[in-house]
Structure 1
Amino acid sequence: MRTYRFLLSGTWIGWFLVVCAAAALAVYLGGWQMDRNDHLVGENSAITENYHAEPLTGPEAVRQFADLDERLVWHPVRLTGQYRPEDQVLVRNRPQDGRVGYEVLVPFRTQDGALVVLDRGWVPTGSAADGMPDEVPAPPAGTVTVTARLQPGEPSVDRGAPEGQIASIELPLLAEQLDQPVGTEAYGEVFAEDPAPANAPAPAPEPETDSGPHLSYSLQWYAFALLFFVAYGWAARQQVRNEEWDRQYAAETERRLARFYDEHGTYVGEGDEELVLRELEMADDMPPHLKSIMRPKPQRRRNRPTWEDEEDALLDALERQER
């Protein structure tokens, strides 16, 4: 353990604290991403459960349009009553299947007298220069039973719209235009009508329930937290190796000096002493990454002698026998 005593120095303690702080931050971010993933998984489960649930009926279904329970978004409701096609409104700039079109909103009067807003579906823009749809299928006349999924109203947007159109499904604005009491907390996305019309707008697609990349991001952050400590350990190991190389380099230099100087310091080598000193000074001034070239490579431990060792041992034995 002496080899790693440098870890108790101020510099290395400081770096260890930095690693701990970075790892703590990575763990926090990993937990944050995991919480987001859990939240989306819960929301997706609720959407899937509501989307395929049995429809609400009667007063309970009508009440959701005026006082929506957020837990019932995407939940089907079944209403019986009559459409009011004279108050139909188009919601502009609605993309679907890679095309731009309109949502068709039609007020619906239920049998108990309540007025709610239903989205009958989507129609594409037409070929005319004004961008209006070529045709907007009319709702069924008379009494009809409608099955729709609950959706909260949309916020206001800073965009205008021509007469007969709106920029968003802003239910309070629709209530002002209708000048009648209407549910302003939710509207319904229609997916079934009885009797069914011969031609109807395209229903809204099933919502995507993808949880996104939050789980993978969370695992990446946890991996980063571990890698910070791995990098710290690797740096400490490199420090030990560098110190070992420095000791080997010093020993190699001492061996080189022994070739040129005796125990009294007298130069005994061949050639110019100044050239030898210059060579040693140049080696000593080398950057650390170049000094490794001068350092002796560590010998690998052999578990068994090589054939050269066996041959040398055999020759030694024969020589001893001859003596």
Structure 2
Amino acid sequence: MSAYRFLLSGRWIGWFLLACAAAAVAVYLGGWQMDRNDHLVGENGKITRNYRAEPLSGPPAAAQFADHDPALTWHPVRLTGQYLPEDQVLVRNRPQDGRVGYEVLVPFRTQDGDVVVLDRGWIPTGAAANGMPDEVPAPPAGQVTVTARLQPGEPAVDRGAPEGQIATIHLEELQERWGYPVGTAAFGEVFAEDPAPAVSPAPAPEPETGSGPHLSYSLQWYAFAALFFVAYGYAARQQARNDEWDRQYAEEMERHLSQFYDADGHYVGEGDEELVLRQMEMADDMPAHLKSLMRPRSQRRRARATWEDEEDALLDALEERDGSLTARD
């Protein structure tokens, strides 16, 4: 473990804390994406259960507009009563099928006297430069039976709108606008009217139930959190290896230069000392990526001598024999 004592230095502690902070952010983002996935799964479950369910009718249906159960979002309700077309408003900036238009909101008074908000559907903007619709289909007059799907009200926005229009379906604001009690917990998206008018707004399209990318994004963020520590460990391993190589390099240079100086530091080499000093300066100033080129390579043990080794041994033997013959003569 002595090779990793550098991990206790301020620099490496800082890198570790940075990895912890980055991992914490990644875990938070992974959890956020997982929450979005869970919410989407829940919404898809509501659509699957409720979209084509048997409609609620009578007082239970009207009660949902005053006290909406979120589990019944998208559930159909059937109401009988009369539209109040004099209070009709348009919700602006509503896209559908790649076009921008309006949603038509009309209050509806049930037979029991409750007033609820119904969204009769979508109409496109007209050809005029002012962006207003060419025509707003009128609701059926007299007693009507409507079938709509429950939707919670929308939040308020700090954005104005021209006369007869609103920026969002904020039910409390509509109640203040109309000046009479209105169910403020939910509104209904109409998809059937009896009797059916000759012309009516386009109903809301069926919602998609795709899973979306949130689950995969969440797993990616969790993987990133782990990778930060993997990268830290890899960097520490590389640092330990570099330190070991530097120690080997220093030992090799010390062995190489020991042939030029004795134990007292006197120069005993045969060449010019100036060249040796320059060599030492070059070694000290050498960049790390060049030092690695001079680091000693690990020597592998050979199982048996190669033909080069045998040739060298033969030459050495011949030199020794020639030397002994010369001495004898």
TM exceeds 0.5? yes
SS in structure 2 at match of 1:105: strand
Give a deviation string over 1:179-202, Cα, whole Å, max 9, x none.
Answer: 444323322111122333332111
Give the aligned residue type for 1:121.
Answer: G
Q: After superposing the two structures, state which structure 1 stretch, 116-125 or 93-102, moved more.
A: 93-102
- Conservation of the 8 A alpha-carbon contact between 1:56 and 1:78: yes
Question: Is the alpha carbon distance of 1:210 and 1:269 closer, same or farther for their aligned partners in structure 2, counting shifts above 3 Å?
Answer: farther
Structure 1 CA distance for aligned equivalents of residues 2 and 164 of structure 2: 85
| Superposed displacement of residue 123, structure 1 | 0.8
Change (3 A) 1:232 1:79: same
Counterpart amino acid of residue 268 in structure 2: Y
Which amino acid counterpart does residue 216 of structure 2 have in structure 1?
S
Q: What is the aligned partner in structure 2 of residue 225 from structure 1?
A: 225
Partner of 2:326: none
CA distance change for structure 1 residues 252 and 206 in 2, over 3 Å: closer, same or farther? same
- How far residue 126 of structure 1 moved from its aligned partner, in angstroms, is 1.0
Name the CA shift for 1:145/1:303 in 2 (closer, same or farther; >3 Å).
Answer: farther
Counterpart secondary structure, 1:64: helix
Q: CA deviation at 1:266?
A: 4.4
The question of whether the paired residues in 2 share the 8 Å contact of 1:19 and 1:232 is answered with: no
What is the deviation of 1:51?
2.5
For 1:133, the equivalent position in structure 2 comes to 133
Shift of 1:315: 8.5
Q: d(CA) in 1 for partners of 2:28 and 2:84?
A: 54
221-230 or 120-129, larger mean C-alpha shift: 221-230
Q: Tell me the matched-pair count.
A: 316
State the secondary structure of the residue aligned to 1:234. Answer: helix
What is the TM-score with the length of structure 2 in the denominator? 0.79
Q: How does 1:275-286 map to 2 (within 5 A)?
A: 275-286=275-286
Deviates more, 1:278-287 or 1:169-178: 169-178
Structure 1 alignment gaps of length 5 or more: none
Letter in structure 1 aligned against 2:129:
A
Deviations 1:120-142 (A, max 9, x none): 11111111234321122222344
3-state SS of 2:56 partner: coil
State the match for 2:13 in structure 1.
14
CA distance in 1, matches of 2:79, 2:111: 8
In the alignment, residue 309 of structure 1 is paired with which amino acid? Answer: T
SS of equivalent to 2:103: strand
- Find the aligned partners of 2:256 and 2:107 in 1 and give their Cα distance: 100
Letter in 2 for 1:56: L
- Distance, in Å, in 1 between the alignment partners of 2:226 and 2:182 is 57
* Structure 1 residues 65 and 303, CA gap change in structure 2 (3 angstroms): farther
User: 5 Å matches for 1:33-44?
Assistant: 33-44=33-44
What SS does structure 1 have at the residue aligned with 2:306?
helix
Tell me: CA distance 1:190–1:226, structure 2 relative to 1, closer, same or farther (3 Å). same
Amino acid aligned to 2:128: A
- Of residues 46-55 and 12-21 in structure 1, the stretch that sits farther from structure 2 once superposed is 12-21
Unaligned runs of 5+ in 2: 322-329
Offset, 1:29: 4.5
1:161-209 alpha-carbon deviations (Å, 9 max, x no partner): 4443333333344445544443233221111223333321111123345
- State the alpha-carbon separation in 2 of the partners of residues 243 and 267 from structure 1: 31
RMSD value over aligned CA atoms?
3.5
The aligned residue for residue 268 of structure 2 is: 267
Alpha-carbon deviation of 1:24?
A: 5.0
Task: Report the AA paired with residue 270 of structure 2.
Answer: G
Partners of 2:8 and 2:161 in 1: how far apart? 71
Matches within 5 A, 1:179-218: 179-209=179-209, 213-218=213-218
1:1-323 map, 5 Å: 1=1, 3-4=3-4, 6=5, 9-11=8-10, 14=13, 18=17, 21-22=20-21, 23-24=23-24, 26-209=26-209, 213-258=213-258, 260-261=260-261, 265-270=266-271, 272-299=272-299, 301=300, 309-310=306-307, 312-313=309-310
The code of the aligned residue for 1:30 comes to G
The CA deviation at 1:262 is: 6.7
Counterpart residue identity of residue 286, structure 1: M
1:150 Cα shift?
1.2
- Provide the rounded CA distance (Å) in 2 between the counterparts of 1:158 and 1:84: 27
Contact in 2 for aligned 1:19/1:228 (Cα 8 Å) = no
Larger mean Cα displacement after TM superposition, 310-319 or 30-39:
310-319
For residues 167 and 240 of structure 1, the distance between their equivalents in structure 2, rounded to whole angstroms, comes to 63
Q: Indicate the SS of the match to 1:41.
A: helix
- In the alignment, is the contact (CA less than 8 A) between 1:79 and 1:145 conserved in 2? yes
| TM-score using structure 1 length | 0.80
1:66-108 C-alpha deviation (Å, 9 max, x unpaired): 2222332222111123333344322233222232222112222
Question: In structure 1, how many angstroms separate the alpha carbons of the residues matched to 2:279 and 2:214?
Answer: 60
1:46 positional shift: 2.5
Q: CA deviation at 1:60?
A: 0.3
